[in-house]
Structure 1
Amino acid sequence: MGERNDQRPPFSFPSLNRRTLMMGAAATGALSLAGLGAARAATQLAWMGWQGYDDPLKAGSFLKDADIELATTYISSNEEVITKLQAGGAGQIDLITIYFGHVPILSGAGLVEPIDEAKLPGIDKVFPQFLNVETIRKDGKLYAVPFTWGTLSMVYDPGAIAAPTSWKDCLKDEFKGKVAMTDDITGLISTWAPIVTGTKTPTRLTMDQLKQTIDFLITIKKEHARTFSPSYGESTDLFARGEVVISAIGWDAQVGFAAAKGKKLAFVMPQEGVMAFMDTLAIPRGAPHLDAAYKALAQAISPEGQKVIATNLTQAVINSDAVPLVDDVNRQVYRYDALDELFKLARFNPFWPLEEGGEFATFDQVQEEYQRFLKA
């Protein structure tokens, strides 16, 4: 994925199963005992995550005031975080960014600490629509703190076409060769599986349903899409050049990306619904500088910290007190004053099954089928 500001959504999923995960968790203790981590000063905060997500910690005088030295490790996928924690990073890393769908995997393997909400000022200002997502909780405990979010909505050019109402509108003959399609395994399958198969939960597909969905995506790719973009940034460039007017998958943040280029785009949530995503912050098990980690968490979700995310990355904030601080474009895109209405159409989906033997396709199988789509 490269830098977090490469205009791709922040989810990249590893090939995992329960056996490999638990083996990694067991190895964590042994490696920690082996003392592989170099000694660090008490105020040195070891942070691992997307580049740009550390910007709130660098803002103003926070690091100086908190007596923290930030040691950053940037990632190009969430897989790197999981692999690091499995291989002994737990006990050496203080704070991570992680896609919300991975939180049950990490909490189930004991790789992240439960969050003591009493130690986290500002947690009461986090929108409940994100704080109460079941995926980030286990047995009543919070294991990850909401940080930023978005929806994969339908993007279109309002100067060229009327507002669409259905995802299937992009398949009209009049738009052939003018459809934007982006490389996003999660977004593409989550968007089109309900339309193709009728499923209510696109991460719970039988193999037949998965194959049907992939076949349909191949048809869109070959017969409707202008090209297959590797990122939403490049997809936005196609809109800016007038090469496409509607998307088979989009990201609401593209409206902000385009505005920075002088191009007006808009997005809608089609009647079939859209996928919602959320990035979170979590504390790995045995974080060596727990107090500093909590200070950093508080700064990251503070109004000032959240403003940095909105300004620098054109992304959505999770703190209600941050809303007055963001610009008009950000407020128009993310509609903070209508979140309940938004989530009637936006869905947080569970992660794919990791183990074989059940009714539904595992993520390994999803990845295999997606390769067939990529090669088509």
Structure 2
Amino acid sequence: MSDNRSKFLGIFPSLVQELRDILVGYGMPEEAIEWYAKSLNYNTPGGKLNRGLSVVDTYALLKGYKSVDDLSVEEYKKVAILGWCVELLQAYFLVADDMMDQSITRRGQPCWYKVEEVGDIAINDSFMLEGAIYCLLKNHFRSQPYYVDLLELFHDVTFQTELGQLLDLITAPEDSVDLSKFSLKKHSFIVIFKTAYYSFYLPVALAMFAAGITDAKDLKQASDVLIPLGEYFQIQDDFLDCFGKPEDIGKIGTDIQDNKCSWVINVALQKASAEQRQVLDQNYGRKNAESEQKCRAVFDALNIEKIFHDYEEETATKLREKIANVDESRGFKAEVLTLFLNKIYHRKK
């Protein structure tokens, strides 16, 4: 995996140069070109790169290669560029999201808007990270028969993610706690639209187009598993934030104090007695450890941990049944979906 990551990272500098050249062509002064290059390098390659790498891995699998190393140099670059387009989309979302949430750090460094001299310019920088996607797609895929499919896919998934973000922001503002706005139905919409489409469906659909698997039935087969899988992934995240060990998940969970519309609180609201509901109303989203502990005590009393483990087994069983029924006659492979499920089933971080 580290070799795959290194190989993938090796493509990025040439893309930054390509984007610099576009600005040169427009006659942009050097200081602006340097600013854009710094934003691209600061915000794009620093994460886990799971989404971008998934495009390459899925493509190799669909084409029947034993490993990513079997791809020709030209073929590898083509799908890696699609992977980097997903990472640019992620960077665009995160730069904007950090400003909305007034976050301080991201990936172990200050959020971009917190960097000296950046501030509110980060709003425009986020737009330019998104713009980079369409520059790269035009340069490398305009002659492909699936070019319009790529454009529509990125536009659709971007808007879906923004819809999820909107509902999240108006349902659970950090400084105004109102648990009557919460529900499992809203939580499901938020996580499917905010996470599942761009994190799970988008990388696979891109790989499918590049591999020549463009039938609407195959895209639906992928979506029918990957969207609920993405919801399951986020529910795991919500659970681990509250019940995971900090040494496993690499952070101390903050969802309770941050008034997050998480799966845990929504299940608790559904199960709570009138007395427990009052405790949650008075303590959830409050910025102190004592209130957090009172919420945790209610979660423990309601046996949320067991409810989650039951949900996890039931969901994994349903997804395996769907995967077993995948029709592979047009070239799509169920193995793609199995790999995604195996990566997250019973994860601890």
TM-score (norm 1): 0.23
Q: Which has the higher contact order (CA 8 A, sep 6+)?
A: 1
| Higher strand content, 1 or 2 | 1
More helix by share: 2
